[in-house]
């Protein structure tokens, strides 16, 4: 049976990317994204809810995120969910689920934002193309940094 692990979100960057280098010399960039959901109750009351997501970019895409992505920017992201587990110093097992980016489009807010039209207020500002992502059976942390990612 086939399965799918794909995430597509449009949201606002909550903090500037934090870019580090892995022990193998590969760039890793992490930042947060907030997404909003709007609805109207059966009584006609408008409501909203915000979710916060952790995002990770690897290799050349991490370097691009570090250069172009800034807090407050709207972005379109495609990727997949990855859950990491580790043991804290006190022996507690910790888990964190993140979105690993495979494609990124930096958006701009339109000047004519309307309160009732929350989903159509963005236009593409800059597309960051990414060629074929690493094979699904490999960990992005072990990609050969010399591999041509087509950027």
- pLDDT for 108: 84
Backbone angles phi, psi at 62, to 5 degrees: -65, -40
- pLDDT for 37: 93
Domains of the chain: 7-141 (2.40.50.140)
- pLDDT for 126: 53
Inter-CA distances, 44 with 39, 41, 49, 52, 82, Å = 9, 5, 16, 26, 38
- pLDDT for 128: 52
Mean pLDDT for back-to-back runs of 10 residues, the chain (151 residues): 95 96 92 95 94 95 93 95 92 94 88 52 53 46 38 37
């Amino acid at each position: 049976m086939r399965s799918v692990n794909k995430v597509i979100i449009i949201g606002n960057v909550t903090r500037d990317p934090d870019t580090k280098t892995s022990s193998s010399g590969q760039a890793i960039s992490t930042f947060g994204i907030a997404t909003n959901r709007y609805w109207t109750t059966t009584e006609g009351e408008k409501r909203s809810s915000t979710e916060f997501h952790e995002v990770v970019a690897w290799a050349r895409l991490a370097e691009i995120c570090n250069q172009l992505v800034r807090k407050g920017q709207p972005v379109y992201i495609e990727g997949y969910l990855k859950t990491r587990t580790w043991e804290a110093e006190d022996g507690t097992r910790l888990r964190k689920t993140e979105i690993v980016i495979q494609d990124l489009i930096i958006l701009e807010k339109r000047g004519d934002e309307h309160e009732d039209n929350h989903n159509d207020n963005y236009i593409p500002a800059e597309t960051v193309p990414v060629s074929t992502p690493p094979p699904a059976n490999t960990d992005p942390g072990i990609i050969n940094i010399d591999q041509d990612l087509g950027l």
